[in-house]
C-alpha cells in the first residue's frame, strides 16, 4: 500500500478567489510546488480533494472545474510537482451527499482506487472541514493552513484536537511548515 499527501485545492494549493472557474485566475500559493515536490520524493502520492459547490449552485459546470484542475496540474508539473489525481464534490451543501467535506467519501474513494494506507497519509486544508474529512476517513495527522481564514482555528472540534493517541491536527501558517513532517 502507498501513502498519500491529500491536499485541498482552493486556499491551499492556489489562492482562494471564491468559486474559481477561470484558468487565468489561478495563482499558485507560495510553498505549494516545493511541498508537493518533496512529498513525491518521499514516496507520497499527491491527491487533491476539493468541494466545488459552484457546480451544484449553478455557477459553473464540471468542465470548468476540470479545466482549472488541469491548469493547476500543468503549472505545478513544470516545477516537477506532479499531481496524481483530483477528486471533487460537485454538489451543493443542500444535496446532503457523502462526498462533500467534512464527509470522508472522496478520501475513501481515492484510497480504494489508489491502494492508499490512510493511517500513514497526511491531509492539509484551509478549512476545518478539510481536515475533519481526512481524519474521519482514517488519517492520523492533519494540518490546518490558516491564511486569511482566521476564524477557522476556533472551529477546531474536540475530535480534531491533540489527544494522546488520537488523530492530531496542527495549525500552520505556511504550507512549507509541513516539509519536516514528510
Which residues of the chain form contacts with Mg ion (CB under 5 A)? 8, 10-11, 126
Q: Which is nearer to Zn ion, 99 or 111 (CB)?
A: 99
Segment lying near Zn ion (by CB under 5 A), choices 41-49, 65-73, 95-103, 117-125: 95-103
Is 8 a known active-site residue? yes
Q: Which is nearer to Mg ion, 8 or 132 (CB)?
A: 8
Q: Which one of Mg ion, Zn ion, none interacts with residue 101, CB within 5 to 8 A by kind?
A: none
* Residue given cell 483530483 in the structure block: 86
HEC string of the chain equals: CEEEEEECCECCCECCCCCCCCHHHCCECCCHHHHHHHHHHCCEEEEEEEECHHHHCCCCCHHHHHHHHHHHHHHHHCCCCCCCEEEEECCCHHHCCCCCCCCCHHHHHHHHHHCECHHHCEEEECCHHHHHHHHHHCCCEEEEECCCCHHHHHHCCHHHCCCCCCCEEEEECCHHHHHHHC
- Examine residue 108 and tell whether it contacts Zn ion (CB under 5 A): no
Q: Which is nearer to Mg ion, 2 or 97 (CB)?
A: 97
Segment lying near Zn ion (by CB under 5 A), choices 11-19, 87-95, 123-131, 157-165: 87-95
- Examine residue 91 and tell whether it contacts Zn ion (CB under 5 A): yes
How far is Cα 76 from Cα 21, in angstroms, rounded to an integer? 18
Q: Which is nearer to Mg ion, 126 or 132 (CB)?
A: 126
Segment lying near Zn ion (by CB under 5 A), choices 34-42, 79-87, 97-105, 148-156: 97-105
Q: Which one of Zn ion, Mg ion, none interacts with residue 8, CB within 5 to 8 A by kind?
A: Mg ion
Is 10 a known active-site residue? yes
Of 120, 162, 115, nearest in space to 138 by CA: 120
- Examine residue 169 and tell whether it contacts Zn ion (CB under 5 A): no
Say if residue 102 is preceded by a cis peptide, omega within 30 of 0: yes
State the catalytic residue, choosing from 10, 115, 130, 158.
10
- Examine residue 97 and tell whether it contacts Zn ion (CB under 5 A): yes
- Examine residue 102 and tell whether it contacts Zn ion (CB under 5 A): no
Amino acid at each position: 500500500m502507498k501513502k498519500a499527501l491529500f491536499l485541498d485545492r482552493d486556499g491551499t494549493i492556489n489562492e482562494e478567489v471564491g468559486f474559481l472557474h477561470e484558468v487565468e485566475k489561478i495563482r499558485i500559493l507560495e510553498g505549494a510546488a516545493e511541498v508537493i515536490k518533496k512529498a513525491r520524493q518521499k514516496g507520497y502520492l499527491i491527491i487533491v480533494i476539493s468541494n466545488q459547490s459552484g457546480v451544484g449552485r449553478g455557477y459553473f459546470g464540471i468542465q470548468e472545474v476540470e479545466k482549472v484542475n488541469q491548469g493547476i496540474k500543468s503549472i505545478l508539473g513544470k516545477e516537477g510537482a506532479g499531481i496524481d489525481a483530483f477528486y471533487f464534490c460537485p454538489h451543493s451543501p443542500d444535496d446532503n451527499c457523502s462526498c462533500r467535506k467534512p464527509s470522508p467519501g472522496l478520501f475513501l474513494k481515492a484510497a480504494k482506487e489508489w491502494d492508499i494506507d490512510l493511517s500513514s497519509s497526511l491531509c492539509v486544508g484551509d478549512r476545518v472541514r478539510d481536515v475533519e474529512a481526512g481524519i474521519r476517513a482514517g488519517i492520523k495527522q492533519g494540518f490546518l493552513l490558516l491564511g486569511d481564514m482566521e476564524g477557522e482555528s476556533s472551529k477546531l472540534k474536540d475530535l480534531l484536537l491533540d489527544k494522546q493517541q488520537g488523530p492530531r491536527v496542527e495549525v500552520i501558517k505556511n504550507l512549507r511548515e509541513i516539509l519536516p513532517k514528510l
